[in-house]
Amino acid sequence: MAHYQEVSHNQENVFALQWMEVPDMALEVLEALPWNMVFHLRRLRDVQDECTELIIDLTQEWKYL
């Protein structure tokens, strides 16, 4: 559970959707949003892969106990 809190409570891991509520944002900010989203999605995928590997490792250890 601590790992989930680390991921969800770390501001680096949180993608802010505030831009959806602000229609008059600067063009530069709007252009950066897709790249920011891609960065966060890739990070999320990497964390998911790490967790999957950990689950597999722990399951294998548990089977051999």
Cα–Cα separations (whole angstroms), residue 30 to 8, 25, 27, 34, 42? 24, 7, 5, 8, 20
pTM (2 d.p.) = 0.56
Where in the chain are the domains? 15-63
Residue 36 confidence class, pLDDT cut points 50, 70, 90? confident
Amino acid 51: pLDDT: 96
Rounded average pLDDT over 55-64: 94
